[in-house]
A and B are shown apart, each in its own frame.
Chain A
Amino acid sequence: MVNVTAKRIAFYVGIVLIWQALDAANLWADNVFPSPYEVGEDLWYGALDGTLWYGIGTSLWRLVAGLGIAIAGGIVLGIFMARVPTVNQTIGSIVLGLQSIPSVAWAPLAIVWFGLTDAGIIFVTVAGALFAVTINTYTGVKSINPDFIAAAQNMGARGTQLISRVLIPAAFPYMISGFKQGWAFAWRGVIGAELLFSFLGLGFLLNVGRQLNDVSQVIAMMLVIMLIGILIDGFIFKRLEDKVMSRWGLR
Chain B
Amino acid sequence: MAKLEAKNIVKYFEHDGQPLKALGGVDLVVEDGDFVCLVGPSGCGKSTFLRIAAGLQQPDGGQILLDNRPINSTGPDRILVFQEGALFPWLKVRDNVEFGLKIAGIPESERQEISNRYLEMMQLTKFANSYTYQLSTGMKQRIAIARALVMDPAVLLMDEPFAALDAQTRDLLLVEMQMIWQKTKKTIVFVTHNIPEAAILGNKVAVFTHRPSHIKKIISIDYKRPRLAEDEGLSKYQQEILSELRPEVKKVD
Distance in Å from the Cβ of A153 to the closest Cβ of chain B? 5
A150 close to B99 (CB less than 8 A): no
Contacts of A152 in B (CB 8 A): 99, 103
Interface residues of B, Cβ cutoff 8 Å to A: 51, 54-56, 74-76, 78-80, 82, 84, 86, 88-91, 99-100, 102-104, 131-134, 147, 151
Distance in Å from the Cβ of B171 to the closest Cβ of chain A? 26
Q: Taking the complex as formed, is A249 at the interface, i.e. its CB lies under 8 A from any CB of chain B?
A: yes
Contacts of A151 in B (CB 8 A): 80, 82, 86
Distance in Å from the Cβ of B194 to the closest Cβ of chain A? 21
Set A155, A165, A170, A248: member contacting B151, Cβ < 8 A: A155
Chain A residue total in the interface (Cβ 8 A): 20
Contacts of A145 in B (CB 8 A): 86
Set A154, A157, A161: member contacting B79, Cβ < 8 A: A154
Known A-B contacts A147-B84, A154-B74, A156-B76; A165 and B103 likewise in contact (beta carbons under 8 Å): yes
Interface residue SS majority, chain A: helix
Instruction: A153 to B54: give the CA distance in the assembly, Å.
Output: 10
A157 close to B103 (CB less than 8 A): yes
Instruction: A154 to B158: give the CA distance in the assembly, Å.
Output: 13
Proximity bits, A155-185, B CB within 8 Å = 1, else 0:
1110001000110011010000000000000
B88 close to A155 (CB less than 8 A): no
Distance in Å from the Cβ of B210 to the closest Cβ of chain A? 26
B100 close to A155 (CB less than 8 A): yes
* Nearest A residue to B88, CB-CB: A148
B56 close to A249 (CB less than 8 A): no
A247 close to B131 (CB less than 8 A): yes
Distance in Å from the Cβ of B179 to the closest Cβ of chain A? 24
Set B76, B88, B89: member contacting A154, Cβ < 8 A: B76
Contacts of A172 in B (CB 8 A): 90
Known A-B contacts A247-B131, A249-B133, A249-B134; A154 and B90 likewise in contact (beta carbons under 8 Å): no
Instruction: A156 to B76: give the CA distance in the assembly, Å.
Output: 6
B56 close to A150 (CB less than 8 A): yes
Instruction: A161 to B78: give the CA distance in the assembly, Å.
Output: 19
Q: A153-B56, A154-B78, A155-B103 are in contact. List 20 more A-B contacts (CB 8 A).
A: A145-B86, A148-B88, A150-B74, A150-B82, A150-B86, A151-B86, A153-B74, A154-B55, A154-B56, A154-B75, A155-B76, A155-B79, A155-B99, A155-B100, A169-B91, A172-B90, A247-B90, A247-B131, A249-B132, A249-B133
